[in-house]
Amino acid sequence: MQRPYNFSAGPATLPQEVLTQAADEMLNWPDASGKRCGMGVMEMSHRGKEFISIYTQAEADLRELLAVPANFQILFMQGGGLAENAIVPLNLSTLRSGASQTGGADFVLTGSWSEKSFTEAGKYCNAHIAASGKSEGFTHIPAPQTWELSESASYVHICSNETINGIEFHTLPDLKALGSKAELVIDFSSHVASRGVDWSRVGLAFGGAQKNLGPAGLTLVVVREDLLGHAMAICPSAFNYQTVAKNQSMYNTPPTYAIYMAGLIFQWLKRQGGVVAMEAANKAKAELLYRTIDASGLYFNRVQKECRSHMNVPFFLRDESLNEAFLIGAKDAGLLQLKGHKSVGGMRASIYNAMPLEGVQALVSYMQEFERTHG
């Protein structure tokens, strides 16, 4: 059965073969040798040997896929990207000030998500805007050389892929080269596992799973070990990275089913050739879509070319009165959830790992046909 192509920004489309496998295993999970254990994954104790094997495999596969160095911990948490906006300052803002003083952090604002992170962090630390693309409507990344980094900041926060505005850091900033002693924190929610990560430039990365890794409910945190143990006294225990790390993400019950699903995605990613193959495929998909938009008289995208996202492609119709007809026609053509985020309007095609090239080709054909008949 060919399902419609689903361009949702998240929760987002998942590979059909993964969903089929999960359905087959729903009532009675088989171990690696194929032996069924009599329970579904949702029904297992998180401390039992069956789930521990699922967890251990998922962690190892993710470490391999993202080439996470041995001195980084992988944490499977809950609360989503938004909770991390509080959890990160609770854990890291006092890295350089010491726990008895209010710490500081710098923020580079490139869109809605980094703005949210800045506002939330202000509840827990001195949050400072080092650079902002807001006055230009969030269409570019301010050049790192122009960032006004504060002397005492414990970390610099960036959103490495702005899901709503469609802006992506294709290279992570090198804070050391900019003369900063701060750690780089990246919110990679919406492009995790779509490309490699230069861990030499990163202190902590976090992301909700529901864009590119699986179902909602799981939050991935990858943190360098020496950043653990600096949490503010008011930090909730379940959100203290050191506590979570010491307990292999089982200080409290982890989101077991979401970890299992993410684990199936990791194995699927490995079958696709890993993150290197994904990166090339994602680039090809994005280039096809942007080329179509740029060549058209009806559609446009406002983002500067060098920082256009390979994952989330917002675009607009020059005649906005055609928006409704565009969306209805798209649905009839088997192309779902293309409506743009309410804060920017227009359209948005999210083309995560699980979106095949054929899906983008179908979208491009539809866009061209719509322009011919409405242009």
Per CB under 6 A, residues contacting ligand PLP are 10, 80-82, 113, 159, 163, 187, 189-190, 208, 211
> Phi/psi class of residue 127: alpha, beta or left (left: φ > 0; alpha: ψ in -120 to 50)?
beta
Q: Identify the active-site residue in 29, 106, 187, 285.
A: 187
Dist CA 31 CA 108 (whole Å): 45
CB closer to ligand PLP, 132 vs 152: 132
Closest distance of CB 88 from ligand PLP, Å: 12
Closest distance of CB 240 from ligand PLP, Å: 19
Nearest to 196 by CA among 264, 269, 140: 269
Q: Could you confirm whether 187 is annotated as catalytic?
A: yes
CB closer to ligand PLP, 157 vs 211: 211
For 112, residues 6+ apart whose C-beta sits below 8 A from its C-beta are 138, 162, 163, 164, 165, 341, 343
Looking at residue 17, the DSSP 8-state letter turns out to be H
Nearest to 77 by CA among 262, 226, 227: 262
CB closer to ligand PLP, 77 vs 367: 77
Q: Identity (one letter) of the amino acid at 349?
A: A
Closest distance of CB 110 from ligand PLP, Å: 10
Closest distance of CB 152 from ligand PLP, Å: 26
Q: Identify the active-site residue in 113, 147, 285, 339.
A: 113
Closest distance of CB 136 from ligand PLP, Å: 20
CB closer to ligand PLP, 215 vs 370: 215
Are the C-beta atoms of 155 and 203 separated by less than 8 Å? Answer: yes
How are beta strands 126-132 and 104-109 bridged, if at all? parallel
Q: Could you confirm whether 319 is annotated as catalytic?
A: no
Dist CA 349 CA 262 (whole Å): 22
CB closer to ligand PLP, 95 vs 159: 159
Q: Identify the active-site residue in 29, 147, 211, 285.
A: 211
What separation in angstroms does the CA of 313 have from each of 26, 163, 300? Answer: 34, 9, 11
Q: Could you confirm whether 211 is annotated as catalytic?
A: yes
Closest distance of CB 78 from ligand PLP, Å: 10
Dist CA 76 CA 244 (whole Å): 8
CB closer to ligand PLP, 102 vs 119: 119
For 61, residues 6+ apart whose C-beta sits below 8 A from its C-beta are 263, 266, 267, 269, 270
Looking at residue 340, the DSSP 8-state letter turns out to be P
Number of neighbours of residue 75 by Cβ within 10 angstroms: 22
Which residues are catalytically annotated? Answer: 113, 187, 211
